[in-house]
Homo-oligomer: A and B are copies of this chain.
């Protein structure tokens, strides 16, 4: 396969996969593009390569910066802004994990805490079961989130590295 063809395939497919990840297509495509770009790209470059509008490019570049997985770069003597992606994959994984925890897990914890402790003065089996079940869920999700956080620091300590090795 030719380089251009392969690159295109990668960017397109990554975009399609992004949708399943709950990330929009363009955002995933821009990220893919920057991941494999040898040089920082300008917004113009990105619009051109992906055939998207200026507004679309602007909004998704901002979103990616909010996730902390791409960066603005200024070239001396250049007016325009250039963009690069985080290329350290460990760092990328950490950022994605943090962002997903913030967006997906924390809100779940919030509502679980509320509903599990809010049913007062009802004695029906139904109400009892509801409180039980949501409490268990809360504890479980909290534990899972803690593990996610821990595994972020994990690779920096000896035990972590050992376990990683065992896990292959």
**A residues with CB within 8 A of B:** 1-3, 6-7, 9-10, 13-14, 17, 19-22, 35-38, 87, 89, 93, 103-104, 107-108, 111-112, 114-115, 118-120, 122, 124-127, 129-130, 133-134, 136-137, 140, 143-144, 146-147, 150-151, 159, 163-164, 166-168
Contact = CB atoms under 8 A, between A and B. Distances in A.
B150 A167 contact: yes
Contact of A126 (B3, B10, B112, B143): B3
Contacts of A118: 1, 6
A126 B143 CA distance: 44
Contacts of A38: 125-126, 129-130
12 contacts: A1-B119, A2-B122, A6-B130, A10-B111, A10-B115, A14-B111, A21-B104, A35-B137, A38-B125, A93-B144, A147-B164, A159-B163
A6 B146 contact: no
